[in-house]
Structure 1
């Protein structure tokens, strides 16, 4: 039985019930720049292949989104779990508004988590005649303030536990960005205190068309409700104009406060990159995968036909030689750990890169992972845990340039196939949240992601977790790493007291199936 389905079964056993910005390029008479470039490239490749490009660098990932908004001529479809305020978000918002000004239909689908206390602000955006906003699986009770929202969640914990974790940015239904990044400064190396290590994929062709179809499926779901449903008085166009003036002032202030960051984020306005990237795609077989929106309606375990995990597990089961997993949050459960151990003992090379306790942004999740390390290591699975990187900038493009936490979700299978998306290898992604991703069949792309992963596993960036015998002969965990070019090992898990406490609580009270 495939590994992810095995995990689902074991979890089931344990569960209870402004002025418009003008386009940078001159549009051809016969269509948009995007359409003409994509059509021209597609003609050079076999029918049915899709064009893809990795976006491991945070600035490139931001630039791709901004330029797609700037180049869109018919539609922009944006689907996100989290949208955080910040310079990067405001810059993207200005481009989205400019697209709407020139007649682009903009649809924004947000998980209800993002709407906490922001209903009126979000509804103001929807006051634009070309912008529609919907919330997925929204809380209906107590949206007035923090206290009432908490009470509403308490009264409906089952619904609140199920979220739309998808991340998708689509332009004209032809070009899409899928991966692990939400919208916020920490995802684009614009937050000085924290930068998430992440990975996106730029897509065109059949796979992008399918991703656009996945957006439509969510947008048309009965679980997606217009933002106007949740405000007493609808904001007017005058309200929107006032907000846009405030947005423009904030961008001017940001330029004065941090000109270096502002210049980096807006470099695309002076030196566009998107068309070059579209001319340099890898054209390969690719499959879009996503959970059905109805997944969140299941009272217990969702049916296999609703799950991205069902298809992905078949690919993992087919691995014969090497499996590399990159997951910000890795909670295998006992059945999953047993499966990985069995595959490793049978000769499959299995390597995992996840967060160390000191680097994770959710220490409680570490409590669902840590108990399985001994068993996995003893069977031959290799474990690497990303270190906290507060002191120096690093060249590794899969990580950020400041204190970083791993947020990437990827799997490389037999150096031939690679999966990139929003899916973590944990019960939450498998059972509770909805997810989206792309499976690419390409030795070239798989090797690129593999090399990025190996760089992330290097001693300068990650702990190499091993089992070693102490003076009494007992096996214990040690963390090998490198500092100033010298290798050394730690005998106690790196991480502060508060992080240890959070992980301990998760283990003690049995939160594993909820993580």
Structure 2
């Protein structure tokens, strides 16, 4: 009996030592990205060459000339344009999305991707597991049977439990390596009019020109991570000629690997603002330093407008947590607007009508630190002005949230906000 007791104690001690050593090795071997702890101070603005040079270098991703970008609004038009491109594919299709579910939205994509594979196109679909849990299983098996390579990103497994919360939130589609799509829209029935006639409000973009190669490289990097295989060759990376006049920069952000670029990018952009900052975001729950940067910008005279969802938001707990933090911004004169007709899901950024950013990034902790994200930065006055106008067009259908409303919130909404804030690091 004593021998058995000693054996159990010895085993427990060995397990404890292994666990301790393993934990030390794990935390020492896992890179911890540098994180800005205070607003950025710069002596240049978005019109200066210093701005472009700095953004290219600190984000480690090049600015590419010769691009054309078409703007698409709402699910029906967005999906139709994407499906037309898939139907015209000749060599390759690479597709990455977060949400993928619902019969009306997904069935046309399942059919189009399957048909492309059957006619000999190399089709690769990277679909987030969590975002596609509601989808019928036969959607994936049908595509695979047709020859589509389908990977469910971060499907639960014992050896990747520590990374399960690291989702891909990107919305990318590249066809023949020559045209690309990027923006806020997932592939679900929420983006299509339902029985109530309401669909999510969103904006997406079709891109042509050399920067599509950078968009493709972003997908290929994630595909390598997911499959262990590298996609190369003319089918994926053809020589691309100029298609327009826009300078664009594909920026990616990745959890854990030390490439948390989105927050850093936006902190620099906010610091450069001289006249106006205009944001449209489905979720607005940044950290205190980010909010401080906005207040600092407002105090130096920058006009700031932020458009977010109202009561129709699909994550009410996040809205209550966000509102709890708004007082300093409201006191400084930051204008916050809540979109009324339906869930607002766009992710649009415009600074001084000179620089714009479009893509998958929300203004929240998940996008800044946890998710894989992809944004396209555009260095062009006309384009940045148009992005601002898109947001302002939607602000006409929003209600401004002022300080008086903030102060008169009922106690149960304040409580809901504080409870939600306790889990804020995991949003």
TM-score, with normalisation over the residues of structure 2?
Answer: 0.76
Which of 246, 270, 276 is residue 316 of structure 1 equivalent to? Answer: 270
Establish whether residue 6 from structure 1 lines up as the match of residue 23 from structure 2.
no
Structure 1, residues 6-54: CA drift from partner, whole Å, max 9, x if none?
A: 3699xxxxxxxxxxxxxxxxxxxxxxxxxxxxxxxxxxxxx93111111
Structure 1, residues 52-85: CA drift from partner, whole Å, max 9, x if none?
A: 1111243221111110111101111110111012
What corresponds to 2:82 in structure 1?
65
What corresponds to 2:252 in structure 1?
290
Instruction: Flag the 1:115–1:384 CA change in 2: closer, same or farther, 3 A.
Output: closer
> For the residues of structure 2 that align with 1:224 and 1:348, how far apart are their CA atoms?
46
> For the residues of structure 2 that align with 1:433 and 1:7, how far apart are their CA atoms?
20
The alignment partner of 2:327 has SS state of helix
What corresponds to 2:420 in structure 1?
506
What corresponds to 2:388 in structure 1?
450
What stretches of structure 1 of length at least 5 have no aligned partner?
A: 10-46, 142-151, 227-280, 390-403, 469-475, 479-490
What stretches of structure 2 of length at least 5 have no aligned partner?
A: 1-33, 40-63, 230-242
What corresponds to 1:438 in structure 2?
376
- Considering only aligned residues, what root-mean-square deviation do their CA atoms show, in Å? 2.9
Instruction: Flag the 1:428–1:306 CA change in 2: closer, same or farther, 3 A.
Output: closer
Q: Is this contact kept in 2: 1:7–1:333, CA < 8 A? A: no
> For the residues of structure 2 that align with 1:92 and 1:500, how far apart are their CA atoms?
42
Instruction: Flag the 1:62–1:120 CA change in 2: closer, same or farther, 3 A.
Output: closer
Establish whether residue 371 from structure 1 lines up as the match of residue 388 from structure 2.
no
Establish whether residue 380 from structure 1 lines up as the match of residue 338 from structure 2.
no
TM-score, with normalisation over the residues of structure 1?
Answer: 0.64
The within-5 A match list for 1:2-401 is 5-6=35-36, 48-116=65-133, 121=138, 123-128=140-145, 130-141=147-158, 156=161, 158-189=162-193, 192=196, 194-221=198-225, 223-224=226-227, 283-292=245-254, 295=255, 298=256, 303=258, 305-356=259-310, 358-387=311-340, 389=341
Deviation at 1:100, TM superposition (A): 1.5
Q: Is this contact kept in 1: 2:96–2:125, CA < 8 A? A: yes
Q: Is this contact kept in 2: 1:290–1:435, CA < 8 A? A: yes
Establish whether residue 411 from structure 1 lines up as the match of residue 349 from structure 2.
yes
Instruction: Flag the 1:457–1:119 CA change in 2: closer, same or farther, 3 A.
Output: closer
Q: Is this contact kept in 2: 1:134–1:225, CA < 8 A? A: no
Instruction: Flag the 1:129–1:225 CA change in 2: closer, same or farther, 3 A.
Output: farther
Q: Is this contact kept in 2: 1:340–1:376, CA < 8 A? A: yes
Which of 54-63 and 110-119 deviates more?
110-119
Instruction: Flag the 1:447–1:181 CA change in 2: closer, same or farther, 3 A.
Output: same
